[in-house]
Amino acid sequence: MKAARILTLSMLALLAGPLAAQFGQNIVQYDQYDWNYIQSPYFDIYFYGDDLSLAEFTSEIADEAYRQISDRLNWQIQKRVSIMVYRSHADFQQTNVTFSYMYEGIGGVTELLKNRVVVPFEGSYDDFRHVIRHE
């Protein structure tokens, strides 16, 4: 009985170590965003500031990509998908949507369990179109 208790406490101590290692590695947020959103038939597009035109562009591209993919795969989404659009990669790196840091090479993040896509706009509409279709 005593050996089982010692083994259990040892296992708990070993498992707690990696959790403590994450302390202090939070993502720094320099700005606060006043989020707005628009709706399309399948998506909720979240944006901040005066980027309504970028949100509308995102909506058009996402709807077009969804129609093509759903026709090709004969599949329909069951739940609305949220798309969060950041104005720049620097703003995107401040997101607290995921627990990991968004390095420079990351063009977007799709979270299947939360039905959410997070993308930065980096100035090129063609590149942004590619990222939306990819995510």
Q: Check residue 31 and give its pLDDT.
A: 64
Structure confidence by residue, pLDDT tens digits, 67-100: 999 999 998 988 999 999 988 766 666 666 665 6
Q: What is the CA radius of gyration of the chain?
A: 20
Residue type at 42 in one-letter notation:
Y
Long-range contacts of 106-113, Cβ-Cβ distance < 8 Å, separation of 24 or more: 107/131, 107/134, 107/135, 108/132, 108/134, 108/135, 109/135, 110/135
The mean pLDDT value of the chain amounts to 79
**pLDDT greater than 50 at residue 24:** no
Residue 105 confidence class, pLDDT cut points 50, 70, 90: low
CA–CA gap between residue 41 and residue 60 (Å, rounded): 10
Domains and CATH numbers, the chain: 25-134 (3.40.30.160)
pLDDT at 46: 95
| Top-confidence residue, 32 or 128 | 128
What tokens were used for 5?
A: 């208790």
User: What per-residue confidence (pLDDT) applies to 66?
Assistant: 94
How many alpha carbons lie under 13 Å from residue 26 in its C-beta half-sphere?
Answer: 6
Q: Is 13 exposed, middle or buried (0-12, 13-18, 19+ CB in 10 A)?
A: exposed
